[in-house]
Amino acid sequence: MDIRFDDKVAVITGAGGGLGRSHALEFARRGAKVVVNDLGGSVDGSSGKSQAAEDVVAEIRGMGGEAISNAASVTDDAGVEGLISQTLEAFGRLDVLVCNAGILRDKTLQKMPLDDFEAVMNVHVMGTVKPIKAAWPVMREQEYGRIIVTTSSSGLYGNFGQSNYGAAKMAVVGLINTLKLEGQKNNIRCNAVAPVAYTRMTSDLFPPEAEMLATPERVTPAVIYLASEEAPTGTILCAGAGAYAKTEIVESQGVFLGDQAQAEDIAAAWAKISDMSDGKALFMGGEQTGKFFEMAAKK
């Protein structure tokens, strides 16, 4: 299957370098018209400028592709509305949105100023919500859309010193878990990519030898697949160093302890409650409710 994006338009946030740049170039190679959004800031989110986005646009145009740059902050309401308006004015539609922009402010929670926690949450969570919110009506009207958010193993599994980043990256999983349901009738598919890549943001977290192994270009195929016509929805696809894996949130079958159950009963039944051998991934929250009511009705 040859995945192409001819006559489609892709918006990538945080595309001035690293993962976003890699995604933007590959979408362009596959025929998409690309909107390269990047504030141009430092890793901690300060000192923004637009040159990074313009440089990627020049690369795309240099290989014969179509692209425009945008320097709006993904946390700025007017800037995000302008990003979507600029896209429609230039290309007339919006098919793919990749929410990739991010910052890091790592410290243990004890040492972390609340301002640093809020800043990371704002960029990664609201900086994902705001572009999606602005793009959603366009995709609904088209009856077509592909949205990819960027999560992380720090959110899925935890990472020392990244409570702010981990909380934000798990939050965007919760976001797509609901949007996959809200977008079904309009053919809007919402997925998450969890990258392992050596970039400016992660260079302090990886050994030097990772630079050659965990390149952004080895994550991008996952994003391209999740943006394709045949993409799944509600999927977390992990990618790095040429390896790919799917993550699921799985719930055990559990046990029914009755309406008089006490904490001691949970302790006594813990082995059974936490037995994941018959675990199942649920597609929506109501399935859990239905399961619990069914278990209660059988007793």
Catalytic residue among 144, 157, 165, 225: 165
Residues in Cβ contact with 140 at an 8 Å cutoff, skipping those fewer than 6 apart: 186, 188
Q: How many CB atoms lie within 10 A of CB 139?
A: 23
165 is catalytic: yes
Write the DSSP assignment of the chain as a string of letters.
Answer: -----TT-EEEETTTTSHHHHHHHHHHHHTT-EEEEE-----TTS-S--SHHHHHHHHHHHHTT--EEEE---TT-HHHHHHHHHHHHHHHS---EEEE-------B-TTT--HHHHHHHHIIIIIHHHHHHHHHHHHHHHHT-EEEEEE--HHHHT--TTBHHHHHHHHHHHHHHHHHHHHTGGGTEEEEEEEEE---TTTTTTS-TTHHHHS-GGGTHHHHHHHTSTT--SS-EEEEETTEEEEE--EE-------TT--HHHHHHTHHHHT--TT-EE-SSHHHHHHHHHHHHHT-
What is the set of active-site residues? 165
